[in-house]
Amino acid sequence: MERRRFAQDALSEWMKTNGPDSEIVISSRIRIARNLSRHPFPMLATNQQSREVMEQLTGVARDERLESFGRFDIFILSELNELEKKVLVEKHLISPGLANESRGGALLLNDKESVSIMINEEDHLRIQCLYPGFQIKEAWTVASRIDDTFEGAVDFAFDEKLGYLTSCPTNVGTGIRASVMMHLPALVLTQQINRILSAITQVGLAVRGLYGEGSEAVGNLFQISNQITLGQSEEEIIDNLYGVARQIIEHEKAARERLMAESRVRVEDRVNRSFGILSHASIMDSKEAAQRLSDVRLGIDLGIIQDVPPCVMNELMVMTQPGFLQQVFDEVLNPEQRDIRRAELIRGQLLKSESGGV
């Protein structure tokens, strides 16, 4: 079978350009949840009703109403194979829920993969816009216009007092989840991270970090998002997130400067050691890969490593996930084989970029 476009490239087109503050903010994302007014939510919909919802919503793309946001492909989830679904999940273009549990599930994906629209996930419609770097306001502008386009064609469940009605009460009102993915290695290294994260959560935001053993987040990546969707306007929600993220950027920058001023050699050692291991290891598990890639990424941002472009790091974060690895090597891999293939892939990519051929 011919490989679908999304399965060939680890890095979505939108991730290949550098956004503002991209040395700290990896990506900005807006997700809005909407439902049709006359159908039960997907959880309670009959198969027939789910099909109707899918027909109505994919119809908006078929009618080419979305064309000002790119060229859209329509994927019916039941027509994709397991590996393709896994790759879409690893690229964060769909949720595991849509991949595994949806009935009448569909995905509308634009050519840059910056807009992914999920149909019949937890809500009938979830519009997701992704931007590289710190561009949360830009992402909202586009998501809101796509929302308007759909609303021109279908009736949304909306209540004058409660706003947009969603399957989960945590989304009611604006139905918006705004989030920024931040790489904060210096705040972790200088042990300021917990203090800062707990401070920013006083203002209605949630922080999610993925922790491995010990206290360090895997890959030093943290997602900060709004928690409140009712009683604040979209602009307030986004301004709040923007302001807080801006402060974290400044703290991370200050921590990086301090690290370089006070312990330059130690930082260089850590970065170069990780680079050495990634360039030469024969077995690499996903957790070690995430941590070492974070070190190298920091090294690139600090100018310690100069031959590797930052987007190679983003690319490797996705490429080294189990589904994508199997797609790249075109075979089913057990965990042990995966660790060997992962090491091989990372070595190859780093070598390629060092010799200037990215």
Partner 1 sequence: MQCQECGKKPATLHFTKIVNGEKTEFHICEACAREKGELIPGTPGGFSIHSLLSGLLDFEPAAQSGLGPKPQTIRCEECGLTYSQFSKIGRFGCSSCYRHFSGRLDPLFKRVHGNTVHVGKIPLRSGQQIQSRREIEQLKLELQEKISHEEFESAAQIRDRIRELERRLADA
- Per CB under 8 A, which region of 106-114, 302-310, 316-324, 326-334 contacts partner 1? 316-324
Site string for partner 1, 245-284 (x = CB under 8 A): ----------------------------------------
Residue 174 interacts with partner 1 (CB under 8 A): yes or no? yes
- 64/70 Cα distance (integer angstroms): 10
Stretch 94-133 residues interacting with partner 1 (CB under 8 A): 95-97, 100, 122, 130
Question: Dihedral, CA atoms, 322, 328, 332, 335, nearest 10 degrees?
Answer: -30
Q: Which of 61, 119, 146, 221 forms a contact with partner 1 (CB under 8 A)?
A: 221
286 is in an annotated binding site: no
Residue 134 interacts with partner 1 (CB under 8 A): yes or no? no
Q: Which helix (H) or strand (E) holds 282?
A: none
Structure tokens belonging to residue 30: 């807006």
- 111/134 Cα distance (integer angstroms): 21
Q: Which helix (H) or strand (E) holds 222?
A: strand 217-226
116 is in an annotated binding site: no
- Per CB under 8 A, which region of 27-35, 253-261, 274-282, 299-307 contacts partner 1? 27-35
Burial tier of 343 (Cβ tally within 10 Å: 0-12, 13-18, 19+) = buried
204 is in an annotated binding site: no
Q: Which of 21, 24, 29, 127 forms a contact with partner 1 (CB under 8 A)?
A: 29
Q: At what angle do helices 234-280 and 335-354 cross, to 10 degrees?
A: 90
CB nearer to partner 1: pick between 153 and 358: 153
**Contacting residues for 98 by C-beta, under 8 A, at least 6 apart:** 77, 105, 107, 118, 120, 121
Residue 202 interacts with partner 1 (CB under 8 A): yes or no? yes
Q: Which of 7, 22, 23, 41 forms a contact with partner 1 (CB under 8 A)?
A: 41
**Contacting residues for 16 by C-beta, under 8 A, at least 6 apart:** 132, 311
Cα separation of the two ends of the chain? 27
- Per CB under 8 A, which region of 69-77, 164-172, 242-250, 262-270 contacts partner 1? 164-172
- Per CB under 8 A, which region of 51-59, 75-83, 108-116, 152-160 contacts partner 1? 152-160
Residues in the interface with partner 1 (CB under 8 A) total 80
Would you say how long the chain is, in residues?
358
CB nearer to partner 1: pick between 64 and 235: 235
Annotated binding site for ATP: 27-31, 92, 126, 177-181, 208-213
